[in-house]
Structure formats: structure tokens, C-alpha cells
Structure 1
Amino acid sequence: MPRHGIVAGMTTQTVVLEDVRATYGTGDRQLAALDGVSVAFERGTFTAVMGPSGSGKSTLLHCAAGLDRPAGGSIVIDGVVLDDLTEDELTRLRRDRIGFVFQAFNLVSSLTAEQNVALPSRLAGRRIPQADIAGALTAVGLAGRLRHRPSELSGGEQQRVAVARALISRPAVVFADEPTGALDSVTSRNILDLLRELVDEHQQTVVMVTHDPVAAARADRVVFLADGRIAGDVRGPLEPEQIAARTAQLVEGSC
């Protein structure tokens, strides 16, 4: 694929991975984290990525998001080919087209909710209108918490700030890595409701790595990984019990 090229026919696909390979270690200790993974994520869809520990879930997310460079293959985000981008170009692409939500909220404790939302853009030298910041926090249910610091917010409220921060640049895709892993069941459901709303009402593309079958059941589609390869690709609706059973089969197969 040509460097910086816009890929024809990508009107319905936000993220495309083609024969992506990633390795860890060197020599005899080299392991394949991803072994020829090809998968695409369509616009306005919610995909859960599941698999046993060590299956390559987080590696897939990090490579797809341009956080890690794969050993081979090709990745396209929003029509932009990542393969030969410089580090500066990758940084700009992540800043402008990708949102991130992690299990750790990654908020700066000394800053208010609105300051945390604005921080990445300000570090990049861009000013976000105050109305946009307030609008992003209102959209995640925090209209009355703009000036509260993380210590004054619950875990669920902190994660909502992280979601607002991910959305402030209106990204093409939001990558979420275990976004409910540190939350109780009620708060987790609220965060999943929010992600579901982003997809259904705003046509946001969400790709979520999770180990939780209940969380995965909220997605439109579940992609299963095992030993660095696609082991299943199922479109919903799915029940948590079905997802758990499929994951258990993959665990047994990898033992």
C-alpha cells in the first residue's frame, strides 16, 4: 500500500488489519503475539475482542491504534495507511483520529474534570472551546461535575471523564482496553450503556478488549483470539453464557 495513501473503498470500514504479525523476544525465545491477523472494524459498530490470557488481545489493540509497530502486515485507520508513518505522524494521527479508554483512568489528580478532558489537546498546542469541553462532559452525564478533581469523583465518574477526553477530538475510532475492569457491576453497566449509546446514536466506532462475557454481550460483534490468531468472529446478539462457553473452549484448546 502506498505511504500516506487513502485506501479506495474504505467508506464503511474505520480500521483494517491485513496479515498483521507481531513478535516478542529474540532468537530462540521469540514468540508470536499476532500471527497473520486480518480483520476489519466497520463504522458505527461496537466490537468486543476476547480470548485467553496471552492470546494477543492487547497486542492487537495496541497495533491497531498505532501504539506499537507490528513486525509485518498492513494497518489502515480512517483511510490512512499506518505502515510507513513516522513517529510524529503517528502521534498526530492518534491525537486527531483515535480515542483511548483504559482500565486505569489516567487522569491527572491536580486537574479538574474539564482540565483533564482538555489536556491532550492543549499539550498538542490546540485550544478546545470551553463550550465543547462542557458539552463532552454533559454528554457523559457529568454536567454538574466539571470543576471536580478526580479525588472528588467516583470510579465510574472518573471513567466517564476518560470517555469524554477520548471523544473531544471527535475521533474515527475509540479503542477501549478493559474499560470496566476496575469498576463494580452497576458502574460497569453504566459505562457500557454509554459506549452503546455512542455507537447507536452517534455512529461512533468502538473496539473493546475485555475478558468479561457480560461486557462483550453488549457489542454487535465478538472477535475471538487464540495463540495470536483469529479463532472466531461472531455477530450478535449473543448471550453472556454463549460467549463464556466459547472463551472456555479456547482456554481448553490452548492448554
Structure 2
Amino acid sequence: MTTPMVSMRDLRMEYGAGPSRVTALDGLSVDLPAGSFTAVMGPSGSGKSTLLHCAAGLDRPTSGQVTVDGVRLAELDETALTLLRRRRIGFVFQAFNLISSLTAAQNVALPLRLAGRRITPGEVTAALEAVGLADRARHRPVELSGGQQQRVAIARAMITRPAVIFADEPTGALDNQTSRHVLELLRALATGQGQTIVMVTHDPVAAAWADSVLLLTDGRLADRLDGASAEVIAAQMARAEAAC
């Protein structure tokens, strides 16, 4: 049996203590195959972002095990965890998180600099070409549209050829046409490059681009939809929200 690229076992995340304690993840277990595109959905407070942050090594769970590309995150100290994130994990966020003083090319090259890797102009150009922005290499974020900034963020996430890309509401601030372009890029990374994509979204249309949709409620995996249409996903989401 193929080893999953991302594996979460009995994942529990609690905040606070005593009567004010909040359980964000409640014994969640799931495996995500290499080269898969998975959307994570659920009502507000269901644990979507917490799952993403724990899976990506940004937060340490209260208990349970997260394994990424065969590495158990709990066994790594902060230095080793940082190195793993730099080399094997990419991030795409709704707010883009580009550095305003850097050009598009410099933003894309940043993960390579942080990893101490030699940067070749061709490598950065190829990443920008892949997202259709080779002609915007010298532009700073303020000179780019929201969709162009998100595509720069995707190129930045791609540049180290990570095993997994985690995307937190990557189309949440974009119009429909631009959202489609971003989703096409993420889909191509999974199908064409064999990278594993994990995307939190509230949008059933965006989620329908994924191979599977994980539906969370109260920190638990309530359902898993494979190859579902936007209509089916929307109906399941409506039922989940009504039950809350």
C-alpha cells in the first residue's frame, strides 16, 4: 500500500484550560495520497484552519501524530521543523503575504534564499512563466492586481518543488475569473507535477476542483466526498451548517 504524503492520526487540538477550554480538533484521522488535491470545508469553527496549521507544522497539536512525506513532525525540534517547511512544504494564503518592497521575481526567489540555496535567474523565470507572469517579474505587489499577486504567491510556493502545498482560502479575495485561473494552476500542480495540494475553502465551486472534499464539523471528519460536483458539495455543506 502506498504511503500517504500527509497522514494525521488521532489529531487533537485544544486551546485554553478548564471551563474555557475549546476543542478545535477532536481525534481526527485522515490520509492524503501523494499527487492528490484535497479541499477542506466546514462551518465556521469546525477546525479547518487548525487542521491546515497542524498538518503544515505551523502549530503543534495537543496530541496525535502528523506525518508529512514520511517524517513525523512531533519528532522534530523547531530548527528541524523550520528546515522541513522550507524544503518540503509550500504555502499559499488568502492575503497573498508578499513583501511590498520586493519585486515579483524577488518574492518568488525568497524561499530559495531562506533555504540557503543558489538562485538561478532561469529558475525564477520558469516559475513566473508557469503562472503566466514572466512579463511582470520586475513589478512590485502594488503594481499587480489581486489575481496577479496570488499567482506570484503560487510561484513562490512552487519554487522549492515542495512535496505538499497548503492553501488557506487562496481564492477568497478574488473574482470568479481570476479564481478559476488560480484553481487551474493548483489542479495542474497536482495532476501535472505530482504535488499534493491541501486547500481550505468555503466555496463549493472551488472545492469541486479537488479530488476529494473533507467536511469537518466540531473538529471531526463528518464526511469525505470524492469527485463531487459543486452542487453536491453545497448541499452537504448546507446540511452541516443546519446541524450546527
Q: TM-score, normalised by structure 1?
A: 0.93
What is the letter of the counterpart of residue 239 of structure 2?
Q
Equivalent residue, structure 2, for 1:150:
141
Q: Structure 1: 5+ residue runs without aligned partners?
A: 1-8
Is 1:230 aligned to 2:221, yes or no?
yes
SS of aligned partner of 1:120 = helix
Equivalent residue, structure 1, for 2:234:
244
**Counterparts of 1:201 and 1:88 in 2: how far apart (Å)?**
32
Task: Return the match for 2:210 from 200, 207, 219.
Answer: 219
Identity of aligned residues (%): 64
SS of aligned partner of 1:83 = helix
Equivalent residue, structure 2, for 1:126:
117
- Aligned-pair distance for 1:129? 1.6
Q: What CA RMSD, in Å, does the superposition of the two structures yield over aligned residues?
A: 1.0
**Counterparts of 1:27 and 1:153 in 2: how far apart (Å)?**
48
**Counterparts of 2:160 and 2:154 in 1: how far apart (Å)?**
11
Q: TM-score, normalised by structure 2?
A: 0.97
What is the letter of the counterpart of residue 233 of structure 2?
I
- Aligned-pair distance for 1:214? 0.4
Deviations 1:11-33 (A, max 9, x none): 44110000010011221110110
Could you tell me whether the CA contact under 8 Å between 2:111 and 2:160 is conserved in 1? no
Count of matched residue pairs: 244
Moved over 3 A (4+): none
Is 1:164 aligned to 2:152, yes or no?
no
Equivalent residue, structure 1, for 2:88:
97
1:48-59 map, 5 Å = 48-59=39-50
1:1-255 map, 5 Å = 11-236=2-227, 238-254=228-244
Deviates further, 198-207 or 162-171: 198-207
**Counterparts of 1:56 and 1:207 in 2: how far apart (Å)?**
14
SS of aligned partner of 1:48 = strand
**Counterparts of 1:163 and 1:246 in 2: how far apart (Å)?**
29
**Counterparts of 1:95 and 1:214 in 2: how far apart (Å)?**
30
- Aligned-pair distance for 1:121? 2.4
What is the letter of the counterpart of residue 102 of structure 1?
F
**Counterparts of 1:200 and 1:69 in 2: how far apart (Å)?**
30
What is the letter of the counterpart of residue 23 of structure 2?
A
Q: Structure 2: 5+ residue runs without aligned partners?
A: none
What is the letter of the counterpart of residue 72 of structure 2?
V
**Counterparts of 1:113 and 1:214 in 2: how far apart (Å)?**
29
- Aligned-pair distance for 1:198? 1.1
